[in-house]
Amino acid sequence: MNGNVSVAVLGTGIMGSAMARNLLKAGMEVRVWNRTRSRAEPLAAEGARVADSPREAARGAGVLLTMLADAGAVAGAVGGGALEALSPGAVWLQMSTVGVEGTGRLQRMALERGVAYVDAPVLGTRQPAEAGELVVLASGPEEVRPACEPVFEAVGKKTLWVGPVGAGTRLKLVVNNWITGLLGVLGETFALAQKLGVDPSLFFEAVEGGPLDLPYARAKGKMMAEGEYPTSFSVRLARKDAGLVLEAAEDLRLPVCEAVAYHLDRAAETGHAEDDMAAIYEGVRTAAEPGGAG
């Protein structure tokens, strides 16, 4: 049914590969490119064409979907001729988290090349991405929205159209501040429990069934309790996101977010950069140890 929609997906990391799979399941023609080609190759068995360059992936495609680490990675990927290679009237769905400044920079690249730009970061991590249940925070010109819908429906359970380009990114930063703030206080709470000799399972028993019993805290708390951090969202990218929040906030001081960034830096320094962001706990703990990073 969607066979006439051709989508070039740049970036097949945790999120991009899951999204590409769901586009294939929805019957779209999918081309994929990834800097480390071996990470894109498994998608060939599911019907994707693996390209050697972003430009090759984009050639003649009606939709360009970018899902890369940060604005620099996106600019580098699309800047080598990918935008020029798209079919006339194509739409660029920029779904990586790139912040306010990054969005402006990438939108300008699109404008200069006459490509419609949609700013559409997502909520949801590995499992919702695999299940096609992301929440898309979309913003961009009214006239291209219908062309985006089949893609958003394939990767998400809900799309919020929130205004002109930039509005999606601003909403994403607000939600991310909430998420990383929760993560930071959970890491500190676990570290405090350890310091005071309190079994963290008692903490969960105490809040069980009440408004403070968050599934998110349960999931991340389990990783902290077990000391195992299989990655849904890495410490490295969570730190990038905290930085994007602080940058966007400008002169509004956000000491909670600053503290989260601090703990994430410590976690990265202790070898957890590629682990799940729940490893923030290791950063908090290490800083408290004699001779530790704090």
Active centre residues (catalytic): 172
| Interacting residue with ligand NAP among 6, 9, 11, 187 (CB under 6 A) | 11
State the helix-helix crossing angle for 235-249 and 280-288, rounded to 10 degrees: 80
Binding span for ligand NAP by CB under 6 A among 5-13, 81-89, 209-217, 286-294 = 5-13
Cα separation, 239 vs 101, in Å, equals 17
On the CB side of 6, how many CA atoms lie within 13 Å of its CA? 13
- With CB under 6 A as the contact rule, the residue among 7, 8, 9, 14 that binds ligand NAP is 14
d(CA 157, CA 35): 28
Q: Does 15 bind ligand NAP (CB under 6 A)?
A: yes
Angle at 276 between CA 271 and CA 277, to 5 degrees: 90
| Candidate residues 34, 139, 159, 180; the one interacting with ligand NAP per rule CB under 6 A | 34
Check binding of 67 to ligand NAP (CB under 6 A).
yes
Tokens of 272: 């957890």
* Residues in 111-170 that interact with ligand NAP by CB under 6 A: 122, 125-126
With beta carbons less than 8 A apart as the criterion, state whether 53 and 27 touch.
Answer: no
Q: In the structure encoding, which two tokens stand for residue 159, read together? A: 């799309």
Min. distance of Cβ 149 from ligand NAP in angstroms? 20
Please select the residue that binds ligand NAP; options are 190, 233, 262, 281, rule is CB under 6 A.
233
Residues lying near ligand NAP in the complex (CB under 6 A) are found at 11-16, 34-36, 39, 67-70, 73, 76-77, 96-97, 122, 125-126, 232-234, 237, 241
